[in-house]
Chains A and B, each alone.
Chain A
């Protein structure tokens, strides 16, 4: 330790500093799972709301692995990940849902699903008229996929198609886990 180190201020605790809690996450994941994270060089064309939010039908997409308790969960053990997605009825309540995912802490979300999948907050906003409505189904999958090209070709395209064609959403909220 040099004299300068002794006098250096300790790094601020990110919980108090308000900075990203897990710094350098992209690099960390790519070191652990090489090739799992990709980079994009340009943006897609920006879409615009065609009408006010009070007339828009919103959909919710989450990688939190939530689903109806009555349905079979996705495969949380597959080494490359499960590239399927599930539909969650937008009218579902916390007690009808369960999370199957191993890659992030969901003990708090098990107490209150809205911590990661704000389905009841969206139901309230829709009932209050802040939103025009919700799509009949929301979308859920497991955010652990080791093949980003396959992910883009299958899961991303599949959800996007269902959001636009089946659910006819006017806008989408995306909640990674």
Chain B
């Protein structure tokens, strides 16, 4: 994914990625990224937790406006244990829909 991000940025379009693997993102040297300490497959949080999904998207978009330093990685320090706790009821309700 980092290679795609670099290819788009190199064509003059600003890019931002959302990563759960900080080491992979650092090695491939992407222009800018938001890091979340979350499991693979859950880059925007938990099912039906709209506020959290939106928060991650907005953090990434904000980085497009504020970061001018190549390789900026912005930490969104939301613990996965807290996400699961918050999302439990939302996910159970959503499953029944």
> Which residues of A are in contact with B by a Cβ distance under 8 Å?
13-27, 29, 37-49, 52-53, 58, 61, 63-64, 104-106, 108-109, 111-112, 114-116, 118, 121-122, 124-125, 130-131, 143, 148, 151-152, 155-157, 159-161, 163-164, 169-177
The answer to whether B31 and A47 touch across the interface, beta carbons within 8 angstroms, is yes
Nearest-neighbor residue (CB-CB) of A14 within chain B:
B37
Nearest-neighbor residue (CB-CB) of A177 within chain B:
B41
A42 CA / B39 CA spacing, docked (Å):
28
When distances are taken between beta carbons in the complex, the residues of chain A under 8 Å from B1 are 61, 63, 143, 174-176
Contact with A along B71-97 (1 / 0, CB 8 A): 100000111110010000001001100
A21 CA / B35 CA spacing, docked (Å):
11
Partner of B47, one of A25, A39, A115: A115
When distances are taken between beta carbons in the complex, the residues of chain B under 8 Å from A172 are 5, 8, 13-16
The answer to whether B17 and A46 touch across the interface, beta carbons within 8 angstroms, is no
The answer to whether A49 and B65 touch across the interface, beta carbons within 8 angstroms, is yes
CB distance from A171 to the nearest CB of B (A): 5
Partner of B46, one of A27, A39, A115: A115
Partner of B6, one of A40, A48, A115: A40
The answer to whether B45 and A115 touch across the interface, beta carbons within 8 angstroms, is yes
A104 CA / B1 CA spacing, docked (Å):
15
When distances are taken between beta carbons in the complex, the residues of chain B under 8 Å from A160 are 4, 7-8, 10-11
A23 CA / B21 CA spacing, docked (Å):
8
The answer to whether B12 and A47 touch across the interface, beta carbons within 8 angstroms, is yes
When distances are taken between beta carbons in the complex, the residues of chain A under 8 Å from B28 are 38-40
Known contacts A115-B44, A160-B4; decide if A26 and B23 are in contact (CB<8 Å).
Answer: yes
The answer to whether B65 and A53 touch across the interface, beta carbons within 8 angstroms, is yes
Contact with A along B50-63 (1 / 0, CB 8 A): 10011011101100
Nearest-neighbor residue (CB-CB) of B17 within chain A:
A174
The answer to whether B53 and A171 touch across the interface, beta carbons within 8 angstroms, is no
